[in-house]
Amino acid sequence: MVGCVNFVTPLPLADMGGMSDDDAAMASPSKRRLAAGPALRAALSKLLKEAELAIGRFSEDPPAQAHFIRTRMKRLQSLCRLLPKARTWRENFLPALRDLKDLFAPTRDATIVQTLGEKYAPGQSIKFSSVPPPDLRRAGGLIQTARGVLGSYPDWRMIGWEDIADRAAGTYRAARSAWKKAARTNAPDAAFHDCRRRIKRLLYQCEYLGGRTSLSRMIRRADQAGEVFGEMQDVCMAEEWLQKKRIKIPADLPRSKTRLRGEALVRAEKLLEQKPRDFRRKLV
């Protein structure tokens, strides 16, 4: 169909997470030989360039490229929060990233819903053979906007590794608080979703600051916890879709949701069991 994004084979949900080789490269210990600010700027610039290239290749594999672009935006959102005393700058930088992430959400969501629909309501799911394509010209413009804001930050050389470590410790503290809220009796799905976002943010920042043995277990546990929280988020999406289409929810869906809630909390506890000050000591 002209003007639509076609889906031939839905992506396996397991392929929509995890750290790729180029992500792991961001954690190279050689980065510490650079000044903290220029190193962080280079990492942000690299993520923007990767997203720009994926936009140019979007038609080759829309679901995969949409996921790749959205992941780059999430990493950018996470890493830009490592800049100290930069609230005003972030308020200018983040909107373009959010708009880019949202631009490719329909492509990614259609793939997930199709896969989950076939799992929980075989034969009843709407066939997502096509969705409206994202505005790639607008996407390119948003990349340029973000690049311009990135270049406008005046104090890159004033940033030290201690400053970045302090910001990462704040991320850990926020993730710990979100986990405790999700662990409350009858916590809403929104609490788990917020915990997942916080854990993914922590994962991306730890990967960036990695290259140390002390962080390797933290990175592994954050990745594993994020995967389980992501599975639960997908089940919630399937539940919402079934309710919207007035399709009877199969018994195994709430069972899966309960199981994933429990596993997510266990993994989050293992990840976030240490005090924030102990986490901070691992960073520099």
pLDDT in tens, 211-265: 666 789 999 999 999 999 999 998 888 888 788 878 788 888 889 999 999 999 9
pLDDT of res. 160: 94
Nearest Cα neighbor of 202 from 144, 118, 150, 272 is 272
Tally DSSP H helices, then E strands, for the chain.
Answer: 11, 2
- Mean predicted confidence (pLDDT) in 2-25: 39
Q: Which residue has the higher pLDDT, 282 or 229?
A: 229
**Tokens describing residue 277:** 């000050």
Confidence of residue 164 (pLDDT cuts 50, 70, 90): very high
- Mean predicted confidence (pLDDT) in 87-107: 96
Share of the chain above pLDDT 70, in %: 82
Q: Is the pLDDT of residue 3 over 80?
A: no
Provide the residue ranges of all domains of the chain, joining segments of one domain with +: 1-159, 161-284
Looking at residue 132, its amino acid is: P
Q: Is the pLDDT of residue 116 over 80?
A: no
- Mean predicted confidence (pLDDT) in 36-52: 97
Confidence of residue 111 (pLDDT cuts 50, 70, 90): confident
Beta bridge partners of 131: 5
Beta bridge partners of 92: none
pLDDT of res. 248: 81
- For 65-80, the pLDDT digits (tens) are 999 999 999 999 999 9
Compute the distance between CA of residue 80 and CA of residue 94 in angstroms, rounded to an integer: 8
The answer to whether the beta carbons of residues 90 and 83 sit under 8 Å apart is: yes
Share of the chain above pLDDT 90, in %: 65
Q: Which helix (H) or strand (E) holds 100?
A: helix 87-103
Nearest Cα neighbor of 110 from 14, 5, 18, 253 is 5
The answer to whether the beta carbons of residues 210 and 219 sit under 8 Å apart is: yes
126 DSSP assignment: -
Secondary structure class of 196 (helix, strand, coil)? helix
CA 85 → CA 80, 91, 156, 167, 173, distances in Å? 11, 12, 12, 10, 18
Q: Which distant-in-sequence residues (6+ apart) come within 8 Å of 94 by Cβ?
A: 77, 80
Nearest Cα neighbor of 170 from 34, 47, 280 is 280
60 DSSP assignment: G
- Mean predicted confidence (pLDDT) in 35-59: 96
Q: Is the pLDDT of residue 172 over 60?
A: yes
pLDDT of res. 123: 66
Compute the distance between CA of residue 21 and CA of residue 173 in angstroms, rounded to an integer: 28
Q: Which distant-in-sequence residues (6+ apart) come within 8 Å of 278 by Cβ?
A: none
Q: Quote the Cα angle for 202-205-209, to 5°.
A: 130
Nearest Cα neighbor of 139 from 47, 22, 58, 41 is 58
The answer to whether the beta carbons of residues 260 and 231 sit under 8 Å apart is: yes
